[in-house]
Amino acid sequence: MYFHGTSKINEKGHLEIGGVDTVDLAKKHGTPLYVYDVSLIRERARGFKRTFDKLGIKSQVAYASKAFSSIAMLSLVNEEGLSLDVVSGGELYTAIAANFPVDRIHFHGNNKSIEELELALDYNIGCIVVDNFYELELLQQLCIKKDKQIPILLRVTPGIEAHTHDYILTGQEDSKFGFDLQNGQVEEALRRSLESKYLNVLGIHCHIGSQIFDTTGFILAARKIIDKLAEWNNQFSYFPSVLNLGGGFGIRYTDEDEPLSPDSYVSEIIIEVQKRTRFHNLSMPEIWIEPGRSLVGEAGTTLYTIGSSKDVPNVRKYIAVDGGMSDNIRPALYEAKYEAILANRPTDEVKEKYSIAGKCCESGDMLIWDLPLPNVESNDILAVFCTGAYGYSMANNYNRIPRPPVVFVESGEDQLVIKRETYEDLIRLDLPLQSKINL
């Protein structure tokens, strides 16, 4: 078992995170409960920034807030001096509500609505990552209407396949995202943007996938893009000031995962960009990255209470927790693997394997298969590690299960940052039936 960040076993023999006993947290806030190790998030944020500084590269590290967005989280991101990637009006609204500095907000998305683009223009956000011709035209029209200029990046699909789960590949040619780098689309987009007096093309963006364990894909993408930039330098006398290489740096969910350190990801990529720009005799652009999972994934732990169990003789033992695919859909959606321990007695002798079922009305609602644990009893607290990215943000109300609360822990203190949803919250938007039947 590998403990991330400040997680350890305390003198009571309980799992402790951020100096706080998780059994006490479960009592105080109830379960399921998402717990975030704030100092680990800070360490990761500082690690990325330090690497750029060490190499003397101008940079922006933008937190991909789709991984986990909340007012407190974005305030923390701001405290650490990062920028922010948002992909919807809702994520942008949360950033504004958190008083996030607008000039460090970057707006992504393959189908931004008029309302969303207007919101971005009205708030004067740092830049819009333009994804397609429809958006380019829409943005141009809105800028004319508001008589406003906006910095943009053009998103390209460089045709690089990253080694990761198929569902989360975004860099290959056959992708819904971005302008194709090879078939002339991106040149057309660049030409139109450069002609516009409203669009200020800061540079190019690409994102090749997620949960990537090595830098080969990033390096190939960077090479292809820089070769293009060399052509554009001649063709359009244009050279971007920004190259945004997206996010996707992998994390260690289980023993099988072997990610690089943030430092290695960033330095290996930068060294290649430096080499390639030098080769073409180009100047070094500012490098932006957009880590989501690698900033928050390992910092999150979900606490559940064990309830029922079912023994299928000679097959397996099921134990059920008080959450499931409603608070962590990743196992059902991507066959994602997790590790877990009993938070109230993590050092008891491991006796057998249990399969951890959620409480949703669906056979596929299984969180972990065949997990070695001590003899499990009802009311034990199960801590599932590495749930900090795409856990809360993809949580849902299937079966009308309220979403769990989120607590931050740091230096021995816990802080509730998202409240537990209530049953009243669940029916808040419901309206009564206006019956057409006369009874």
Question: Which residues form the interface with ligand LLP (CB under 6 A)?
Answer: 64, 67, 85, 108, 168, 170, 207, 210-211, 246-249, 290-294, 330, 334, 389-390
Residue 395 beta carbon to ligand LLP: minimum distance, rounded to whole angstroms = 12
Q: Which is nearer to ligand LLP, 82 or 343 (CB)?
A: 82
Residue 201 beta carbon to ligand LLP: minimum distance, rounded to whole angstroms = 18
Q: Which is nearer to ligand LLP, 318 or 334 (CB)?
A: 334
Q: Which is nearer to ligand LLP, 151 or 307 (CB)?
A: 151
Burial environment of residue 304 by CB neighbours within 10 A (0 to 12, 13 to 18, 19 or more): buried
Q: Which is nearer to ligand LLP, 85 or 116 (CB)?
A: 85
Residue 200 beta carbon to ligand LLP: minimum distance, rounded to whole angstroms = 20
Q: How far apart are CA 14 and CA 98, in angstroms?
A: 34
Residue 290 beta carbon to ligand LLP: minimum distance, rounded to whole angstroms = 4
How open is the CA angle 265-267-269, to the nearest 5 degrees?
Answer: 70
| HSE-CB for 382 with a 13 A CA cutoff | 31
386 counts as catalytic: no
Q: Which is nearer to ligand LLP, 22 or 88 (CB)?
A: 88
Q: φ and ψ at 208, to 5 degrees?
A: -100, -5
Does residue 272 come out as left (phi exceeding 0), alpha (psi in the -120 to 50 range) or beta? Answer: alpha
Q: How far apart are CA 134 and CA 157, in angstroms?
A: 17
Residue 256 beta carbon to ligand LLP: minimum distance, rounded to whole angstroms = 15
Q: For the chain, what is the radius of gyration of the CA atoms?
A: 23
Q: Which is nearer to ligand LLP, 119 or 168 (CB)?
A: 168
Residues with Cβ within 8 Å of residue 306, at least 6 apart in sequence: 319, 320, 321, 376, 377, 378, 379, 380, 381, 382
Residue 250 beta carbon to ligand LLP: minimum distance, rounded to whole angstroms = 8
DSSP-assigned letter for residue 405? P
Is 117 within 8 Å of 145 (Cβ atoms)? no
Task: Give the tokens for residue 3.
Answer: 């403990």
DSSP-assigned letter for residue 249? B
Q: How far apart are CA 165 and CA 210, in angstroms?
A: 8
Q: Where are the alpha helices (DSSP H) in 280-405?
A: 293-296, 330-334
Q: Which residue has the tokens 């390096």?
A: 219
Is 63 within 8 Å of 291 (Cβ atoms)? yes
Pairing of β 242-244 and β 199-205: parallel
Which residues face 3 on adjacent strands? none
Q: Which is nearer to ligand LLP, 153 or 371 (CB)?
A: 153
Residue 262 beta carbon to ligand LLP: minimum distance, rounded to whole angstroms = 11
Q: Which of 127, 206, 361, 386 is catalytic?
A: 361
Rounded to 10°, the helix 185-195/133-146 angle is 10
Q: Note if the bond before 240 is cis, omega within 30 degrees.
A: no
Residue 282 beta carbon to ligand LLP: minimum distance, rounded to whole angstroms = 24
Q: Which is nearer to ligand LLP, 270 or 381 (CB)?
A: 270
Residues identified as active-site: 361
